[in-house]
Amino acid sequence: MNSYKLAICQMKTSNNKTVNIQHAIEMIAEASKNGADVVALPEMFNCPYENRFFKEFAEEYPGETSKALSKIAFDCGVYLIGGSIPEFEDGKIYNTSYVFDKSGILIGRHRKVHLFDIDVKDGVSFKESDTLSRGNDITVIDTEYGKIGVAICYDVRFPELSRLMALKGAEIVILPAAFNMTTGPAHWELSIRMRALDNQIFFAGVSPARDENASYISYANSMVSDPWGRIIGAAGKDENIIYVDIDRSLIGKIRQQLPLLNHRRTDLYKVGIL
């Protein structure tokens, strides 16, 4: 199919996992009723974004959250990029995104590759590695709407990862993310537009809605960039579902006009695969 409708669910998260899952199901169902073919949830949508909650909310696959996502994907007949949740396996906890097809079958899993360990002067301090382990895979998933890349939050800051997904054929990268009130205003839109422009792909950042009472306050502002670096859909700070028509033919048109990927000098680059 040359085009499809993408829905971005910008939702609030509470400290009650069951409530969070049910709220996500309701938003997915609403998106489906409004014609969405692909639906995406935010980072850590079933769990407060705090290290102390990751272990408490973590679950093995299949678990409460993944079973619910599989069922709603099947019930609604949508591809579902299930944001991310804390996943437990072999004594480790990962920040993991499950991807389901229209039949509710798990067709992909991305574990956050780059852990968010920062200490910004007069800003946020957070160390995911205190609790979480790194993933080691580049995630590109085949669908009837073309190949979809999946990354999580801090992954966007490393252009090599997006480039590798594009070289593997990803036409869009979907990024569940929770930028904060320091990094969000400074870098969120810039990062999304730049990764789209660098690779001449669509790029979608899916954030939780802002909760001023949370200990970790999300910048929100979910948005989608087209391959020219234009924002074609954006939310504000509140709960919302945004819908974007993804015209896959635009990728080829832009790459023909401005053939960036063909002009790469891989004979000069230190990392030959790039």
State the catalytic residues. 43, 112, 153
Q: Is 38 helix (H, G, I), strand (E, B) or coil?
A: strand
Rounded CA separation 235/87 (Å)? 28
β strands within the chain, DSSP E:
3-10, 38-40, 79-81, 85-89, 92-100, 106-111, 117-119, 125-127, 139-143, 146-150, 170-176, 202-206, 223-225, 231-234, 240-247
Q: Are strands 231-234 and 223-225 parallel, antiparallel or unpaired?
A: antiparallel
> Exposure string (b/e) for 227-241, b if CB count within 10 Å is 16 or more?
bebeebbbbebebbb
Rounded CA separation 264/164 (Å)? 13
Q: Which two tokens stand for residue 139?
A: 């995630």
Rounded to 5 degrees, what are φ and ψ at 3? Answer: -150, 155
Rounded CA separation 189/224 (Å)? 9
Which residues are bridge partners to 189 per DSSP? Answer: none
Rounded CA separation 110/135 (Å)? 7
